[in-house]
Structure 1
Amino acid sequence: MSDDLTADELTAALRGLATANETPPSVAAPEIRRRAVRRGRRRRTALTLGAGAAALALAAFALTLGSGDAPVRREAPAVTAPRLPASPTPRFPASPTPTTPLSTPVTGTVDFGKRALTVDGRVMPITSGYPVRPAAGLLTVAATLDLTRDTVDELAKSTCKVAAPYVVELRGTDNSSLYVGSLTCAPRAGAWIGLDAKNAVWLYHRLRPGDTLSVAVTPSA
């Protein structure tokens, strides 16, 4: 055998030497392919997320530029009319209220000069009795008496009797009593006003305690 090697022999020798010294891979070929697929997916996901973030950043930047360029519109304050100072209300002194005495309502009138007693427009002649005429003023009805159950001292002292058992007691301003009723006689003295029986009964049912009669001072003719 010759010491000189041909080119083919030398190539074959080198390949054999490389194969003999080649280090086998630590990972199997299928696992290498799976890892390569996963790395590709991660790259694509990262690219997609990066593109989305860039788009959002561009949109936010565009909005910022748009809001910065547009002039801010400010509402002008509403114009209000100036308030005028309130004019002071004039105060007038209160006019004094005239003090008018309270008038007592009068139910009727006793006129000793004309010898008549008038109530509600009904004129009743004083037919008997000569009472002492009181001064002008008021007579107040103190009581309406039914002689079937009530007693009148003035009548008990007198010889006269009543034709109807109905008597009205009047009281003067001096607290003296004057009786009105139908008498069977004409006493020359006493605190009596004599009426006929019909008027005496009507007056008894018409008057109430507290009613007032005014005393007239018409002079007799």
Structure 2
Amino acid sequence: MTFIPKPHEIYKHFKGNLYQVVTIAEHSETGEQLVIYQALYGDFKTYARPLAMFTGEVDRQRYPEVTQRFRFELQGAEADRQAHEADAVSGTQTAAVQTKTAKMPSTASQPAAAQATPIVAQNIAAQATATAAQTIIAPVSPAEDEEPALDPLVLEFLDADSYEEKLNILAGLHHRITNEMITTMAISCDIEVNDGEPEERYEELKNCLLTMEKFECNRLR
């Protein structure tokens, strides 16, 4: 079983932008699992991407400078869950392949053409799968390339483990905060902030976080 993103989880694309998972859907024709996710920037567009492509690792040949392991990396307190589950799946698959290889009879006496047939079939299947995946995800690629990355302090806000820390980061953003930043931070905390001027929305978000901080402190006592 592969790693499955959960609704409301926030993921950072390896190019810097943040997205929130809405749900996991199933293609009505093929049965393929799709991740439905929403951008936490710009027009907050919603996208669909095959599960395998969403949870896959960054192509190191195309992006050798990228340090992030996964194409979309889980953020927040449960960030380690992604790597842990992905490594568990990888280990299981490796063990299965080794077991299958050990049980296979020797092919030394078989004709070369017969030995090559499975490899050719695998290559054809892999090429077909890659082509199909590229066709499906093509519409979302330009948006990811063109949209600017989020402010580093907003990323720190999303990674913060406590409401006290989030409030400190929010205060640091006060002098240059935008409505887009406020919306992104509010969504990440499941807070609904009314439309209006940035200063009004900033105060509303701050007050909500202060209330949540009080509940957090009482729970820890």
* Greater Rg over alpha carbons, structure: 1
Same fold (TM over 0.5): no
Q: TM-score, normalised by structure 2?
A: 0.17
Q: Higher helix share goes to which structure?
A: 2
